[in-house]
Amino acid sequence: MPSTEKPAGFFSTFSILDPNGTHEGNPRAQKRNRRVFVCIPCHRRKLKCDKGQPCSRCTQSGSVDECIYQPLLNSSAVKRESITPEPLKEFSSPLKGCSRPQDRTRSSYRVSDGKARVSGSTHWAKIACEFEEASPYIFGTDTQWDTRYSQIKGLSYLFSSFGSMNFPFSNTSPIPPSQRDIVDQLPPRQVVESLVTCYFHSCEVTHRLFQPLQFWEELSALWSSSDHVSDGWLAQLLMILAIGSQNAPDYLLDNTGRSRGEWTDVFLEGAQISFGRSPYMTSPNLTTVRTLCLMVLARMLEIVKGSTSSQIVSLLGFVTRLAMSMQLHRTARLFPAMPAIEAELRRRIWVTIQLLDVDVAMRAGTSFLCTEFDAEPPLNVNESDFRRSNQGIWEVDTFRASVPGHTDGSFQVKLARFMPLVADIINTVNSPSQPLVDYETVLSWDRRLQKTLREAETAFAIRSHGMADRYRRATTQRQLIEVLAHRAKLAIHLAFTRSPYDERFGASYRAVRDSSLALLAIQESWSGSGAASSICSDSSRSSSPSTSSSEDPASFNGWLVDLCRDDFDTAMLCMILAIRKDNYGGGKMDDMPPRDMAWAVLRQGLMLFRQRACRSLHHFKQFVGLSIMAGVLQSIGSPRAMLATMMQVADDVEQTVLAGKQDMIWIGNSSTLLVHESLDPAVSLLDMDPELLNMHIQ
């Protein structure tokens, strides 16, 4: 009598169509257990397998650990069974199908230089691998596509890199200029102060590092006695100018003898030389940490051209450890002799380091570094509440600071309380070693994230009438908290949207869809152009940025589109996966948006990435990846048209980049792509009705 044991890795074709084993609509029963010679993942997905160990498909999808084969068994140990085999039951459940923590990461090793890489579930490549049909085209493993794919990758030569690969720890000058030479190279005083104002209106709104009154006082001292400036402070000023120049209107740098790009290189090189002369290793201070934070921001914003995610991760790791060695993560109560202004600045800088750490961990798929700290949140006061005492010491006017309501410090207070939750989520979803969480924990995280969103909506609700600048700042701060919260929601829910047969699919699918739409809506609101016309006015150069005004709320938010581009890229990837599941994956939800609406959102999002495709190499790569995935999505119902569709996508990308590099101009605070006369806007596949795609191909 044959054994009742079923072979490892066995499952029937009918079980794929009928995962519950009811055999409804399938009168034929499985006749015999066939031996599976290909790897189990390829067999489950009905994909061609090269039978490697691991096979190429599992390698390119980052699932090397899943590439297993059915072992040879004695024929007496096999029995036919009509129920759904266990491996398929596991496949239909996200938690069981990804029963190992290693399945949340994507690892690779390059033999040529020994480079090992592990990317967690928040990394774009791990998310893109969910779209199995697009993987051969995204990673260039399809033999018919490889040649054209290499040509598209070759367009990267159009994007120049900053001269110093190891910025900020080297310089390219054979004879470094003296401090006097660097100061003499600065633009006129009015331009410098206007660029500083641009910085305070943009980055300082969300990434606070300074007390503005104190900094303006230090800047005034530079003009009166430039011989007594320290190298560290000069490096800090030059980084402020480099970042501020990206948000400055064109006319501000007219007639200065250099273009915006040339001034940026001057500022970056001067900052690097000055920083190298400062005692940043032997005697670091708050200026040292602030300067390094600005350098991390410059890399994240691609102001330092050619920055890679690994470089940013390494630099931020150095910044974080340096800050912790200075005890910025500790409560000021441990240091009774510390001045109040220094304690406040330390708290501000530490919250900003945490914010940078969260952003870098999300985009690189790594862990959150700032895991153990007891520093208090910054004071919930306005910048105008600081003043110098009769003894010349900076202190807070506690009487004025006691007024309730929204202040300049409200954002960092909310952020400091929000960071532990985001850190817990990131360290769980990106770790290959931490145990998997149950769905109740996911729902608990989701409720806490929703509570944070509601609290932010209330805390930053300010009437715009008569308070235009404060309203703009509060809106931007609220939206950044929303970006962090929705990005975290995508991280915890995406793994539960793989199988429409799982009972958790519906709730997680809605969460992914809603968070993706919310992120893309914020991207669109931040993509406004046109810099404020009041930059050089006397009122805009006041000590506190809270007192200045700006007509356009989107005037200084263009930089945030670049800073959060990986969050928006993830939202686009999730939207593409949602449309794929909705149209081709089964399990369509009754309350899902119409197909036309989903495609309209996708078209608009891709157009925004298209407009910024020529800003940097990273922007270009994101545009290429999204274009490929959108093209595959268009033709997924017609496999024979897939290659022709990809060729058209390649032509569209090539024309967009070549035309953009030729016709790039600056409008306001962002570079806007002018469409070349020879580039027909209709060439984009996303401008076509999906139903007409096959007719167009034929």
Distance CA 344, CA 338 (A): 10
Give the model's pLDDT for residue 652: 95
| Residues 362 and 487: beta-carbon distance below 8 Å | yes
Q: Which helix (H) or strand (E) holds 148?
A: helix 146-153
Backbone angles phi, psi at 671, to 5 degrees: -85, 125
Q: 578 or 105, which is more confident?
A: 578
Is 108's pLDDT higher than 80? no
The total of other beta-carbon atoms located within 10 Å of residue 151's CB is 11
Nearest-angstrom CA–CA distance, 226 and 642:
64
Question: Quick one: pLDDT at residue 570?
Answer: 97
List, in sequence order, every residue forming a beta bridge with 394; answer none if it has no partner.
388
Q: Does position 72 have pLDDT exceeding 60, yes or no?
A: no
Share of the chain above pLDDT 70, in %: 76
Distance CA 273, CA 164 (A): 11
The pLDDT, as a whole number, for residue 313 is 94
pLDDT of residue 63: 67
Q: How many CA atoms lie within 13 A of 169 on its CB side?
A: 9
636-682 pLDDT, tens digit per residue, is: 888 888 999 999 999 999 999 998 887 554 333 344 433 333 333 33
d(CA 624, CA 621): 5
Contact 63, 41 (CB under 8 A): yes
pLDDT range class, residue 468, cuts 50, 70, 90: confident
276: tokens are: 């190298």
Closest CA to 694 of 659, 644, 650: 644
**Residue-wise pLDDT tens digits, 549-583:** 344 444 568 899 999 999 999 999 999 999 888 77
pLDDT digits (tens, 9 = 90+) for 192-240: 999 999 999 999 999 999 999 999 999 999 999 888 899 999 999 999 9
Position 89 confidence tier, pLDDT thresholds 50, 70, 90: very low
pTM: 0.79
User: Environment class of residue 533 by beta-carbon count within 10 Å: exposed (0-12), middle (13-18) or buried (19+)?
Assistant: middle
**Which one is predicted more confidently, 371 or 59?**
371
Residue 117 β-bridge partners: 108
Q: Which sign does the torsion angle of CA 7, 12, 15, 20 carry?
A: negative
pLDDT, position 97: 39
Q: What is the pLDDT of residue 691?
A: 36
Q: DSSP for 68-125?
A: --PPP--GGG-----SPPHHHHHHT-HHHHT-SGGGG-EEEEETTTTEEEEE-TTSHH
Query: Quick one: CA dihedral 624, 627, 631, 633, positive or negative?
Result: positive
Question: Computed over its alpha carbons, how large is the radius of gyration of the chain?
Answer: 28
**Better pLDDT: 116 or 414:** 414
Pairing of strands 386-388, 106-110: unpaired
The residue whose two tokens read 């969103």 is 453
Residue 83: predicted pLDDT:
33
Nearest Cα neighbor of 505 from 430, 438, 561, 581 is: 581
- Provide the terminal-to-terminal Cα distance of the chain, rounded to the nearest Å: 58
Do residues 342 and 286 touch, judged by C-beta distance below 8 A? yes
Q: How does pLDDT run across 494-544, given as a tens digit for each residue?
A: 999 988 888 899 999 999 999 999 999 999 999 873 333 334 444 444 434
Min mean pLDDT across 128-137, 520-529, 587-596 is at 587-596
Residues 60 and 139 sit within 8 Å (Cβ to Cβ): yes
Query: How many Å apart are CA 630 and CA 626, to the nearest integer?
Result: 6
Q: What is the pLDDT of residues 321-331, one digit of tens each?
A: 999 999 999 99
193-196 contacts: CB < 8 A, separation 24 or more? 193/219, 193/541, 194/248, 194/252, 194/535, 194/536, 194/541, 195/240, 195/241, 195/244, 195/245, 195/248, 195/252, 196/237, 196/240, 196/241, 196/244
The DSSP bridge pattern shows strands 386-388 and 664-667 to be unpaired
Q: Which of 394, 299, 304 lies closest to 340, judged by CA?
A: 394
